[in-house]
Each structure stands twice: as C-alpha cells, then as structure tokens.
Chains A and B, each alone.
Chain A
Amino acid sequence: MKIFRLTTDNHMVIVSFMPAVADNLFRALADPTRRALFERLARDGEQTVHALTGPSGVSQPAVSKHLVILKRARLVHPRRHGRETHYSARPQALTPLVDWMSLYGAFWRDRFDHLETLLNRMDK
C-alpha cells in the first residue's frame, strides 16, 4: 500500500493515498456483508466460497460477487485447489486505515506546538 508523506514546516504532514487502491479498499469495506466475510476469514482462516455461503445468509453467487470486490481491494487472497477456490484474509491490506494513527500523531504534535505557544502567551 503506497502512502506518500510530505513533511513540511511545523510538523505538518500531508498524506495522500494512491486513489485507485484507496477507492477499492474503502468501497470494499463500506458493505456490512463484505466486512463480515472478511472478518470471518481473518478469524477462522482460509475457506471456500461454499463454506462461506452457509452462515452468511446470502446466496453463493452473491458471496462470490462480494469476494471479487474484496479481492480487488486485496483484502482476500484466492488459492485454487482442485475445483474449488480457497480464500484467505490479507489484513495487511488494511494499512491505510491503521495509518489513521499516523495522521492523528501529526495532528496532536501540531496541536501541542500551538498549546506551547498559548501557554507562553498566558504568562504575559
């Protein structure tokens, strides 16, 4: 996952994501059924479409369709075995979300600078 960081003065950080990758990721995670499928794979490990269909409450074609979208976002990895495809979760694809923390890190450091300025001003 590509994240560009440009540090400017005063600890400001500008972050932008590769649009296509981010679009796919956020679109994939916007749907509760897909989040549930992804979480299940992350929790229980590799599974076939057939195994995933049972508890999901949606039809097999619908599950397949959701998996395509998850695959496009690189959230799941397909592995062909015989006549079936086994899917596993790729949690590392979530890096942009975890990088939310980096954003807030920059945000708070910047705010602390402002706080310091304010505290000095309050002395007078």
Chain B
Amino acid sequence: MTDTPASTHSLVIEREFPHAPEKIWRALTESNLIQQWLMENDFEPKVGHTFNLRMPPVQGWNGVIDGEVLTVEPQRVLSYTWGSMGLKSVVTFTLTATATGTQLRMEQSGFPSTESASYKGASYGWHAFLSKLDQVVGGLK
C-alpha cells in the first residue's frame, strides 16, 4: 500500500547569480566544488552514477544522503535522486542564461503530501532525525 505512487509536493528555490552558466555548472558537478558549498561527496556527472552526500553524523542519523544521477545536460539540467531516512526525493537543477548571469532553479520533488499520506519505508528515522533537527541544521556549517 505504501508503495503505490503518491501525490507529492515539490520545493522550488530560484536565484539569479551574476555568473555564467558554465561556471555554475562546474560548481554543481565537480566533486571538490560541490564539497565547498553543499556537502562532502563522491559525485560524478554521469547518468546512473550512484554517490553519497555526507554531513557530520548526529545521534540517530548517519548524515548520509544516497543519490543516483538521473539527468546530465551540461550547463542546462542536472538531476539526481536524494534519499535519506526513508524519504526519497529528486533534486533537479535547471540553469537558464540571463542578460546578467544565470537563473538557477532547484526543485526538490517527492515530498509526501497531506492528501496521500503515503510514506516510503520510514518505519524508523523520522523521529530520530526530526528530534535532532537543530543539531543537523546547526552542523551544516
């Protein structure tokens, strides 16, 4: 029952950067650069590549996000799965050149909705993770 497709919510964050798409693409796809703004990782911009994003572990959560690369369209679209603590979502970056730089759109989709009430797995973890939320967020620096 919990494996049926669910109606879900998406989160969208957009920001314009005064930098060329080429440069933003590098920051999104080169492991050592990803580490500097997102998390430690073994990312490679190859479709099908599986990788981890890691942040400092906290009690009840190992700090690991599992990903698989879904889309690589250089300087245009990058997407990968984002799995953590029973919640699997998809993160998609879309780059659009503007007159003064690049519009970067990040969409994270697959959040369970109130209507569907469908949760992937999650027989553990929600509580552990959420109760340690402040530590997780605080540990992101």
User: Which A residues contact B (CB, under 8 angstroms)?
Assistant: 12-17, 19, 22-23, 26-27, 29-32, 35-36, 38-39, 42, 89, 91-92, 94-98, 100-101, 103-112, 114-119, 122-123
Contact = CB atoms under 8 A, between A and B. Distances in A.
> Could you tell me the dominant secondary structure of chain B's interface residues?
mixed
B38 to A, nearest CB: 6
A26 B114 contact: no
Interface in B57-84: none
B118 A115 contact: no
B138 interface: yes
B102 to A, nearest CB: 9
B49 interface: no
Interface of B: 1-2, 9, 11, 13, 15, 17, 19, 23-24, 26-27, 33, 36-38, 87, 104, 106, 108, 111-115, 117-119, 122-124, 126-127, 130-131, 133-134, 137-138, 140
Contacts, number: 122
- Interface centre among A16, A110, A111, A115, by most B CB within 10 Å? A115
Contact of B114 (A22, A94, A105, A109): A94
B140 A107 contact: yes
Given A32-B2, A108-B106, A118-B36, A39 B140 contact: no
B123 A30 contact: yes
A12 B133 CA distance: 12
Given A100-B111, A105-B11, A107-B137, A122 B27 contact: yes
Contacts of B111: 98, 100-101, 104
A32 B123 contact: yes
Contact of B1 (A13, A16, A35): A35
Contacts of A15: 130, 133-134, 137
Contacts of A32: 1-2, 123
A92 to B, nearest CB: 7
Contact of B112 (A16, A30, A98): A98
Closest 6 A/B residue pairs (Cβ): A26-B127, A114-B37, A115-B37, A91-B114, A14-B134, A108-B13
A97 B137 CA distance: 17
A104 B108 contact: yes
